Amino acid sequence: MTRVPLERKVLNENDRLAADLRQGFLQHGTRCVNLISSPGSGKTMLLERTLASFERGRRVAVLTGDIQTDNDAQRLARYGFPVRQITTGGACHLDARMVVNALAEWQPDAIDLLLIENVGNLVCPSSYDLGEEARVVVLSVTEGEDKPLKYPATFHRADLVVLSKVDLLPYVPFRMDLAREYIRRVQPDAEILEVSCTTGDGLDAWRKWVDTSC
Amino acid sequence: MTRVPLERKVLNENDRLAADLRQGFLQHGTRCVNLISSPGSGKTMLLERTLASFERGRRVAVLTGDIQTDNDAQRLARYGFPVRQITTGGACHLDARMVVNALAEWQPDAIDLLLIENVGNLVCPSSYDLGEEARVVVLSVTEGEDKPLKYPATFHRADLVVLSKVDLLPYVPFRMDLAREYIRRVQPDAEILEVSCTTGDGLDAWRKWVDTSC
């Protein structure tokens, strides 16, 4: 019971830092997108396909969060854009302080698009505002269509839900109609895109979403 | 920084309750198994197949944790064994207190095997001892073979790793040899089983693991 006030204090402090980040992003014309999902839903692959599709001069940067390893940063750095790994060393989510620290060595006005890949966790990252303009929840069709109802706080704050790995639909018992209904029930305003990074299906629509909202 | 001592206090309190639970389980001859995984890796399906395979008189009970919904308890109750849903209402893991409360209305000496399905989260549940005799981490092959390295604390405490959904191996870029190597690197003593609840492959070995260790 003693935990609640402290959690609130931590979140209040996070909200304050996130508000500063958001103001900085606005001031410098940086669009910040925060990607949240379960482990292994395909966030890194989606970012790889996205970076591969960008023209070389594009002012895009990536922060990628993991508890351990810098595997994802290594994968993402191959595309020639600035990438920084945030290794949380145990923490189950990114927080605004980690983003502030990671951005410290970059020129704040040199980034038009900042993509943040959160730690793979469908619960905890949703409580931590990172100052993002848009929040994307990625849900792989292998995870089952019931997840929006089971993790409502996460889906409730989504601007976009990317249903990933749709190439696997023939092999898994995933009902797309129910998935869409459950997402709408929790967050009626979220856009929904169906994407496969393997076949490329839906990637144009995703790119368009990233571009139009930049 | 103020968070650390409080977290320690919460965990100490949990460890105390878990020790009581463990002692009670020992005293009553109850084997308790704690299943941890990402959302959608197939814990509930594995439990469904397990319950379906048990003879009717078997003294088995199930606790299933979710942030919201009692979908899983409904699915699991169909097999005729006692099932109780623990809805955490936001908490990202089960803790020992929740297990104590959930068990309060059951006869402690009437259960030989207690299966606990944790909240779908590959991070936070690993810090909370539930008094279990054995801990199982379920990793779906759709999640990628790098997860043991990215979530080492969780795999480090596993007695058994179930690699699930192996029927999907032809369609996903999952390297089984690497997965096994990474699990061994983090937890050399863990048993590893490859299972598909769709085809039934590996279910006999899983049942044998559950039975022998009972």
pLDDT in tens for each of the 214 residues of chain B?
445 677 788 889 999 999 999 999 999 999 999 999 999 999 999 999 999 999 999 999 999 999 999 999 999 999 999 999 999 989 999 999 999 999 998 998 999 999 999 999 999 999 999 999 999 999 999 999 999 999 999 999 999 999 999 999 999 999 999 999 999 999 999 999 999 999 999 999 999 999 885 4
Q: Which residues of A touch B171 (CB under 8 A)?
A: 167-168, 171
Domain B3-212 has CATH 1.10.3210.10: no
Contacts A149 to B, Cβ<8 Å = 68-69, 71
For residues A183 and A158, give the distance between their C-alpha atoms in angstroms, rounded to a whole number.
Answer: 9
Residue B120: DSSP 8-state: S
Q: What is the pLDDT of residue A3?
A: 53
Q: Are A53 and A81 in contact (CB under 8 A)?
A: no
Tens digit of each residue's pLDDT (9 = 90 or more) over B195-204: 999 999 999 9
Collapsing DSSP to helix, strand or coil, B82 comes out as coil
- A66 vs chain B: nearest CA distance in angstroms? 7
* pLDDT score of B8: 84
How far apart CA B33 and CA B209 sit, in angstroms, is 11
A158 touches A187 (CB < 8 A): yes
Any idea where the domains of chain B sit in the sequence? 3-212
In sequence order, which ranges of A29-167 are alpha helices (DSSP H)? 43-53, 71-77, 96-103, 147-150, 152-156
- pLDDT digits over B52-67, tens only? 999 999 999 999 999 9
Mean confidence (pLDDT) of chain A: 95
| Cβ contacts of B122 on chain A, cutoff 8 Å | 38-39, 120-121
Cα torsion A54, A56, A59, A62: sign = positive
| End-to-end CA, chain A | 43
Quote the CA–CA distance of A92 and A127 in Å, as a whole number: 11
CB atoms within 10 A of CB A7: 12
B133 near B32, Cβ under 8 Å?
Answer: yes
DSSP A175: -
pLDDT digits (tens, 9 = 90+) for A69-125: 999 999 999 999 999 999 998 999 999 999 999 999 899 899 999 999 999 999 999
Q: Is A178 exposed, middle or buried (0-12, 13-18, 19+ CB in 10 A)?
A: middle
pLDDT digits (tens, 9 = 90+) for A32-53: 999 999 999 999 999 999 999 9
pLDDT at B33: 98
Q: Is the predicted pLDDT of residue A2 greater than 50, yes or no? A: no
ipTM: 0.93
Residue A62 main-chain phi, psi, to 5 deg: -130, 135
Average pLDDT of the residues in A140-159: 98
C-alpha–C-alpha distance, residues B198 and B40, integer Å = 14
Smallest Cβ–Cβ distance between B68 and the set A119, A122, A152 belongs to A152
